[in-house]
Amino acid sequence: MTPFGERMRKLRAERNVTLKDMAEAIGVSSAYLSALEHGKRGRPGWHLLQRIISYFNIIWDEAEDVVKLARISHPRVVIDTSGLAPQATELANRLADDISDLDPKELTELLAVLNRKKQKKK
C-alpha cells in the first residue's frame, strides 16, 4: 500500500464509503481504485486527484497533504544516480535490494534521517 492509498482508505473508512460507491462517483472502476489503494497502479493524475479531493470535500491544508502523498506514492521508483558520488549509487542499489527486509521501525528511522536533511535545507 502506498501513503496515498493508505490515506484514501482511511478517508473512505471515516465516511463509511465503499470502493464501488466512490469509484462510481469519480468515474473510475472499483478495480482501478482498489489497485491505486494497494500500490498496484502508479500515482493518480492531477484530474483524478481533483475529483477525489472534491468527492471527499477536502479543503486547504488537507487537500495539499493529499496531493503531497500522491506525489510520493509511485510504487515503482527509478533513481538516477548518474553524476553523483559512488555512495549514492550504492545506497540506491542497496535500498532496492534490501527494502523488503526492513521492518517498520527501520523504515521510520531511515525516513527520519532524510526528513532531518530536508528540514536543514529550509
In the chain, the number of structural domains is 2
For residue range 40-55, what is the model confidence (pLDDT) as tens digits? 888 899 999 999 999 9
Which pLDDT does position 121 carry in this prediction? 79
Looking at the structure, do residues 92 and 56 belong to the same domain, yes or no?
A: no
Domain boundaries, position 116: 86-121
For residue range 62-121, what is the model confidence (pLDDT) as tens digits? 899 999 999 888 888 889 999 999 999 999 999 999 999 999 999 999 999 999 988 887
Tell me how long the chain is: 122
Q: Is residue 56 in some structural domain?
A: yes
pLDDT above 80 for 122 = no
What's the CATH code of the domain at 40?
1.10.260.40
Of 86, 108, 89, which is closest to residue 97 (Cα–Cα)? Answer: 89
Q: What is the pTM of this model?
A: 0.70
23 vs 59 pLDDT, higher one: 23
CA 102 – CA 112 distance, rounded (Å): 14
Burial class (CB in 10 A: 0-12, 13-18, 19+), 117: exposed
Which pLDDT does position 117 carry in this prediction? 87
